[in-house]
A and B are shown apart, each in its own frame.
Chain A
Amino acid sequence: MKSTIPWLIAAVTGCVMIGAYFIPYTQSWRDEAAIWFEILAAIAFVLGGVNLFTQHLQKIAARRAGWGYSAITLITFVTTLAVGVLKIGVQSENPNLPWSGHYQFEGGAMWWLFEYAYNPLQATVFAMLAFYVASAAFRAFRAKNTEATLLLVTAFIILLSQTYAGTWLTAWVPDDYPAATFPGMKAIILGVFNTAGQRAIMIGIALGVAATSLKVLLGVDRSYLGSDGD
């Protein structure tokens, strides 16, 4: 019963989604189902917040390794929540309604947190990606066998073609042979080999999605729902 009811909900919603794609009359049902999912996700968000709070409190209480980070997490969590809920620094849009301003009001405390704390932190982690790309490329592009050598040569052509040097180095090639230039080679590699490979993978993924969805609808695989017992 514990997994049958969730499966029934999933199956009925899935059938509605499929029906809405083919039957114009039921198109609004799809939007209804999506709204219900959003409501469910919003309720579950509270569950996530409570879990976040308890796990970090436990870590601080037990003084486990890295408990200082948990303390920072909780302080920022509570601060951001309070700033957002209390609309600190937000000017009201209507003088008679003091809470009428938008919580993301420019100049407000929430806006300030996003602008000067959240965005720089996001950008910092994203910028670190460049170093990870360099280290992964260093390992992937070692010419240890034929396939790796082929990958190295392909990557070299693509990288060179992205720069002005690629155009300049093959500028002497007659216009009748565009495929002999670095930009021409890049176009062929991306347009033919890369696209063909990508499409093959995409077809496989699409079929996998269809099969997984069908398994969910038919209840063939219910391992994601847990056990039937209490």
Chain B
Amino acid sequence: MRRSVNQIGRRLTLNCALAVVASACCLASWTAPVRGQEGAAAPVGTAVAPPSGLIATDHPNDTGNAIDLKWTLSPDDVPDKKPRIVRGYEIHRSLADGSDREKLTQVAYHVGEYTDRSCEPGLDYLYEVITVGLGEVRSTPATLERPVHGVLQWFDMSRAWFGVIVLLVCGAVVVFTELVKSGRNLYVREIAGLKAIEEAIGRATEMGRPCLFVPGLLDINEPATVAGITLLSHVAKLSAEYESAIDVPTSRSLVMTAARETVHAAYLAAGRPEAYSDDRITYISEEQFAYVAYLTGYMVREKPAACFYAGTFFAESLILAETGNSIGAIQVAGTNEAAQLPFFVAACDYTLIGEELFAASAYLSKEPHQLGSLKGQDAGKVLAGVLLTVGCIVATLAALIPASPVLAYSLYFLKEVVLGKGGT
């Protein structure tokens, strides 16, 4: 915000007055050390050397509201010297005409950089860095030669390579979807856990017991929960066709609402809308172990013949799977939490590992446009495999031939630019 001429004038006068007073104080403190400490190693009030080489540059890949400052530390800023002479560095900012001078912050000793994140894009600023010594003594300021301003960047270049990878993976999904739509037949490997769903629901029907579907702990904004709900759609449709009941206790209200819509649609699609009941899809609690207590209690009381776990799970995964195991239910589990997979593998009959949970919808529906997404994922895996192989070869060669600048740069490029921050 630009100030009016009068305001600037008043502020300028005030700043000049303050500067004169501050300079006088500094001079006084330099020329008149504290009495009785003249001979000490670092007396309070001893003059401190200013920092030097102040550089200010626009902070990259932002909206133009940040400027990076770097300076060379004061010669008095020696880390091992006791008592410490330098207490820190004060950073001041003013507009290019010297108005609106203000102290931004004080950083600690031995810190030679700071990012000012309170700038206005396009507005020219001048910065000063002052060393603060013992007894609040201040050095002369290190100043900028030219004013600097923040520039709005329209694209975050540090994420360019990530964008390229996203485009390749998403492009592959779209291309394969179109290929399948045009009649191309794609091979999809068998997923045992998904094949077992029908068997599990059939068993529940034979035994006259319900099925239990747990969509995980997190809300509908999580992709794993969305994948779980799409799997629920198929499980509910099969349940409706087999005339088996399905219970869906949820830990989130939005998941409950989405699950109700999904199961209702599945029952409609199966031609049994009269069998659907809202009472079977309920909200329990957002608290992890309260939810678990309900689920384990339900399992022990109702003894569902089939239990499905699809979504995000944490410590409760083993409690649920072990309880399901103890009541003899067929259990199929899938989660995006890699740390919980071993527990599901140990206690469940079938586990959807890694991307299998996300592939469930396409695998079960066999719809062409969904199968295309599976092939797109495969293309992504090929890309990841190529990157890993090239990276392994380059890293190995760079370790074997450390003198090669080409290999060293190639490794840097892969690690820091492609997989890192874009090399900016």
Contacts and interface: CB of A to CB of B under 8 A. Distances in A.
Contacts of A46: 253
Contact of B229 (A37, A48, A139, A224): A224
A63 interface: no
B117 to A, nearest CB: 13
B154 A211 contact: no
A220 interface: yes
A63 B299 CA distance: 19
A227 B380 CA distance: 31
Given A44-B253, A209-B223, A225-B261, A136 B318 contact: yes
Contacts of A213: 223
A47 B257 contact: yes
B346 A125 contact: no
A140 B156 CA distance: 48
Interface string A186-230: 000000000000101111110111111111100011011111010
A201 B346 contact: no
Contacts of A227: 261, 264-265, 268-269
Contact of B346 (A55, A121, A140): A140
Say what secondary structure dominates the interface of chain A: helix
Contacts of A164: none
A169 to B, nearest CB: 26
Interface stretch (B17-25, B36-44, B73-81, B335-343): B335-343
Contact of A203 (B253, B284, B381): B381
B384 interface: yes
Interface of B: 61-63, 152-156, 159, 163, 166, 169-170, 173, 177, 219-221, 223-224, 226-227, 229-230, 233-234, 252-254, 256-258, 260-262, 264-266, 268-269, 279, 282-285, 287, 289, 292-293, 297, 301, 315, 318-319, 321-322, 325, 336, 338, 341, 343, 345-347, 353-359, 361-362, 365, 369-370, 373-374, 376-377, 380-381, 384
Interface of A: 21-25, 27, 37, 40-41, 44-49, 51-52, 55, 58, 65-66, 69, 121-122, 125-126, 128-129, 132-133, 135-137, 139-140, 198, 200-205, 207-216, 220-221, 223-227, 229
- 7 smallest beta-carbon distances between A and B, as pairs: A226-B261, A208-B358, A204-B354, A48-B253, A208-B355, A227-B265, A44-B253
